[in-house]
A and B are shown apart, each in its own frame.
Chain A
Amino acid sequence: MNNILNSSTFFGMFLTLAAYVLAVAIKKKLKSSLINPLLIAIMICIAVILAGRIEYDTYNQGAKYISVLLTPATVCLAVPLYTQIEKLKQNFRAIMAGIISGVLTSLGSILLMAKIFGFSHEEYVTFLPKSITTAIGMSVSEELGGYVAITVTIIVLTGVFGNIICELVLKLFGIRNRVAKGIAIGTASHAIGTSKAMEIGEIEGAMSSLSIVVSGILTVILASIFAGLH
């Protein structure tokens, strides 16, 4: 199978889009909010790759052209954020308080669990940037001497998990304010969570987008301080 597909550009692109379209169709058919299209699309792609004994590189040869759109798509997050600028101004103090407390909680909870699980210093700093966007997280991990490949894995896992679980967590903790919902999703699970916040609503999406930027920058500064604590 690999031989035929080795030089294919469109296999990876097609599989990714087809898996997502199928996942959305499944969600519609079953009418359940518990079904997450992103997770199902990932599972379909992995199942096809494993069943066909296809190398990830063969898949990614085409799929990478979809990933390339991430930078322009992230740039576009500024548009809903600008449209919601009044909400941002009205709630400025609350937004900053929420993001700062979230970043400190992220770093603090990792410090605590690193001690509980007996992580080495290298493992600990690998986890510190787990809630921020991949490109910033990689450079933080690298700078502090972490395992960059594991950091990337953990960041993606954090985002996908945040995307899947956010509606349940918000409900469970009684977070109903739309600004607070967006800040919670973006601070905990960066751009992958934000793509879910955008589906929930424009205010949620805009606030989640803002959190990616602010929490990313704050983490760069604070992670170097936290790195000295374990």
Chain B
Amino acid sequence: MKYLKQMMIILSVSLVGELLHELLPLPVPASIYGIIGMFIMLYTGLIRVEQVRETSSFLIEIMPVMFVPAAVGLINSWDVLKSHWLSYVTVTLVSTVIVMAVSGLVTQAVTGKGGKGNE
């Protein structure tokens, strides 16, 4: 029963996220409403961590598997990419590395002044 109840809570927050996505005219997907909603529920104590702990750990642990189908779908994208693939892939890869380096270095530089003991 424990896992069933935990899954029910997680799905109820997902459902509310889905409804907000349908009702509000914002480009925000159900999952983002859901993560904000779950955070608020935990913060206000309406949901306790113990009520979702095991199932949420499990879902997070298996999350990489959930990206496999979408990535395998890239084989269908070849037709739209083939004429420009080199420039498209270059832009994608270069910008990903730069963004990672800049956001990490800036965060590290600012924490360095205040918060110690994070390494």
Distance (Å) between the CB of A163 and the closest chain B CB? Answer: 8
How far does the alpha carbon of A97 sit from the alpha carbon of B115 in the complex, in Å? 14
- Please provide the chain B residues from 67 to 101 with a CB less than 8 Å away from any CB of chain A in the complex: 67-77, 80-81, 84, 87-101
Q: Which residues of A contact B63 (CB under 8 A)?
A: 70, 73, 191, 194-195, 198
Q: Do B118 and A177 touch (CB < 8 A)?
A: yes
The reply to whether A79 and B38 contact each other, CB–CB distance below 8 Å, is yes
Q: In terms of DSSP, what is the predominant structure of the interface of chain B?
A: helix
- A166 in the interface (beta carbon within 8 A): yes
* Shortest beta-carbon distance from A151 to chain B in Å: 11
Q: Is the CB of B71 within 8 A of A94?
A: no
Number of interface residues of A (CB under 8 A): 114
**CB of A200 closer than 8 Å to a CB of B:** no
CA–CA, A109 to B102, complex, Å?
11
Least distance between A86 CB and chain B CB atoms (Å): 11
- Indicate whether B19 reaches chain A with its CB closer than 8 angstroms: no
User: Contact: A98 with B110, CB < 8 Å?
Assistant: yes
Partner of A162, one of B7, B32, B94, B96: B96
Contact A180 B49 (CB under 8 A): no
Q: Which of A89-147 contact B (CB under 8 A)?
A: 90-91, 93-95, 97-99, 101-102, 105-106, 109-110, 113-114, 117, 119, 123, 127, 130-131, 133-136, 139-140, 143, 147
- The interface of chain A, by Cβ under 8 A from chain B, is 12, 16-17, 19-20, 37-38, 41-42, 45-46, 49-50, 56, 59-60, 63-64, 66-67, 69-83, 85, 87, 90-91, 93-95, 97-99, 101-102, 105-106, 109-110, 113-114, 117, 119, 123, 127, 130-131, 133-136, 139-140, 143, 147, 149-150, 152-154, 156-163, 165-166, 169-170, 172-173, 175-181, 183-185, 187-189, 191-192, 194-196, 198, 203, 205, 209, 211-213, 216-217, 220
